[in-house]
Amino acid sequence: TATAQSWTPTPEPTPTATLTVEESAAITQTATPEPPTPTLGPTATPNLLTSESFNEQYKKYLEAMRKETGVTEARYREVVRADLLRSKLSDYFANQVPAEEEQVHIRQVLLPTEEAARQARQALDGGKSFDEVAKETAVEKAGDLGFFGKGQMVPEFEQVVFTLEPGQISDPVKSQFGWHIIQVLERKGEGDQMQVHARHILVDTEEEARQIKQELEKGADFGQLALERSKDPSVQPPKTDLGWVTRDSTAADPSVIEAAFKLQSGAISDPIQVPSGEWAIVQLVEGPSVRALDQADLQRKRSQALQTWLNEAKAGQGVERLWDTSRVPPDPFLASGG
């Protein structure tokens, strides 16, 4: 017989039974089999239900359900077994998911290449702030559209950009998005296969676009003006302070957060490559410290833990938990062999 100390979740008891919409609706309308409420006879003596009577009524209920919904006794028991197991696992994870979690306060800067990241790390070690390094990087990237070919931009933009030579800056160009000042950085290919690497500054009015063109002709930095003036939503002021984050936070890439938890307070990481292809440098400002989860976060984590376990079990994978799975109570069906 399984005990609370020995039972470990395996894929075997995973609840796989699910009802169709029709089955679910029909069963909902059919009363759950329960002993009838005792009635009082003429002598006010309770009419006790015997086991034979209960079994007979239970059989009648199952037969009525089969005729009404098409659900057999075996199917019904399968669904009930799955529901009971899921309920039991929900209770288990409700008790086992910690109500507190660690958090750290971090800063991050993203660089386009490993070499740029190493130079940034040297600058940080030399006393530059994260904000200064991030702003320098943001200026270099501001308004950069990368390489693109014909047919990828709106017609008004394309009609101009493919006529520019590398380094050349356009006059104001009107499109459905506003007014553009465009600079081509590189060109490659010929004819229909031509691609250009360009950047732009997007503003609302022709007057502002002409003013920016004049400033550029006087030597203003294109990236700096793009960062300060462009309305392109992809051009954002750099944000280095990510505040307090937990291990499952989405504020930074998981590899960056993992590295932050290994740092000493004030320390700066080596460059870390993230899936976007960029390189991150992270600093642990404070922490780690412990915070209590609010009810919504706690419920979300419990649901995630349960769903992850179910998905792994359904996939036939081994189930590994940070919590002691031997504390899961025994399955009554498995214990009884029913």
**Pairing between strand 272-273 and 178-188?**
unpaired
Give the pLDDT score at 92.
65
Ranges 66-70, 179-183, 228-232, most confident? 179-183
Worst-scoring range by mean pLDDT, 173-182, 240-249, 291-300? 291-300
Give the pLDDT score at 329.
40
For residue 323, is pLDDT > 60? Answer: no
- What is the percent of the chain with per-residue pLDDT over 70, rounded to a whole number? 70
**Average pLDDT, stretch 189-207?**
93
- CATH for 101-109+239-291 is 3.10.50.40
The more confidently predicted of residues 221 and 25 is 221
Indicate left, alpha or beta for 34 from its phi (over 0: left) and psi (-120 to 50: alpha). beta
Worst-scoring range by mean pLDDT, 6-10, 197-201, 217-221, 254-258? 6-10
3-state secondary structure at position 238: coil
Whole-number Å distance between alpha carbons of 212 and 220: 9
- Alpha-helical runs (H) found in 18-113: 21-29, 51-69, 73-96
3-state secondary structure at position 226: helix
**Average pLDDT, stretch 68-88?**
74
**Average pLDDT, stretch 96-117?**
83
Pair of tokens at residue 300: 């979300």
For residue 327, is pLDDT > 80? Answer: no
> Across the chain, how many H-helices and E-strands are there?
11, 8
- Alpha-helical runs (H) found in the chain: 21-29, 51-69, 73-96, 114-125, 130-141, 155-161, 206-217, 222-229, 254-261, 295-314, 332-336
Give the pLDDT score at 261.
94
Whole-number Å distance between alpha carbons of 161 and 185: 11
Give the pLDDT score at 317.
52
For residue 98, is pLDDT > 90? Answer: no
Whole-number Å distance between alpha carbons of 274 and 250: 13
Q: Dump pLDDT digits (tens) for 233-284.
A: 888 877 889 999 988 888 899 999 999 999 999 999 999 999 988 899 999 9
Give the pLDDT score at 81.
73
> Cβ atoms within 10 A of the Cβ of 224, count?
15
Is 302:94 a contact under the CB 8 Å cutoff?
yes
Whole-number Å distance between alpha carbons of 11 and 220: 65
Predicted model pTM: 0.51
Give the pLDDT score at 62.
77
Spell out the residues 6+ positions from residue 6 whose beta carbon is closer than 8 angstroms to its own: 326
Domain regions of the chain by residue span: 71-98+296-336, 101-109+239-291, 143-229
The more confidently predicted of residues 292 and 158 is 158
Q: What is the mean pLDDT of the chain?
A: 78
The more confidently predicted of residues 183 and 246 is 183
Whole-number Å distance between alpha carbons of 308 and 323: 14
Does a cis peptide bond (omega within 30 degrees of 0) precede residue 42?
no
Spell out the residues 6+ positions from residue 275 whose beta carbon is closer than 8 angstroms to its own: 253
Shortest CA distance to 82 belongs to which of 333, 335, 326? 333
**Average pLDDT, stretch 190-197?**
90
Q: How many Cα atoms sit within 13 Å of 257 on the Cβ side?
A: 16
Ranges 85-94, 276-285, 326-335, most confident? 276-285
